[in-house]
A = this chain, B = another copy of it.
């Protein structure tokens, strides 16, 4: 009902400087202060911070989270925007996976191209790192 920043940190796993950073970025509201200028939070702040952490864990960039917060504060808006953000993020993750899979292929080829025991001048791995034309495609 009245948490210090450390309480909030322990409750959410978000580090103290990160909480202050979110506040500075406008993702958390400025909380009340004690007479001695220390922050005191309420349950709603805890909810907001959990939301934030979950979104960050899901890889949403901060502008997207900002949008979600704005939307959630206009309850009568339709939820298409929210759905769009989720879909975009899913799309972005899928693209990253695709790119990494191409990389994985190249690296697997490179890493197995040498059986060790050479001096580096004859190392196929080093040659493969030097020469993109040995790769099957783009990366």
- Please list the residues of chain A having a beta carbon within 8 angstroms of any beta carbon in chain B: 47, 50-51, 53-55, 57-60, 68, 71-72, 74-83, 86-87, 89-90, 93-94, 96-97, 100-101, 103-104, 106-108, 110-111, 114, 116-123, 125-126, 129-132, 139
Contacts and interface: CB of A to CB of B under 8 A. Distances in A.
B54 A131 contact: yes
The 10 A-B pairs of least Cβ separation, nearest first, read A79-B123, A86-B111, A90-B107, A75-B121, A51-B130, A54-B132, A79-B120, A79-B118, A97-B100, A82-B125
A130 to B, nearest CB: 5
Given A58-B139, A79-B122, A116-B83, A107 B130 contact: no
Given A57-B139, A83-B116, A83-B125, A96 B100 contact: yes
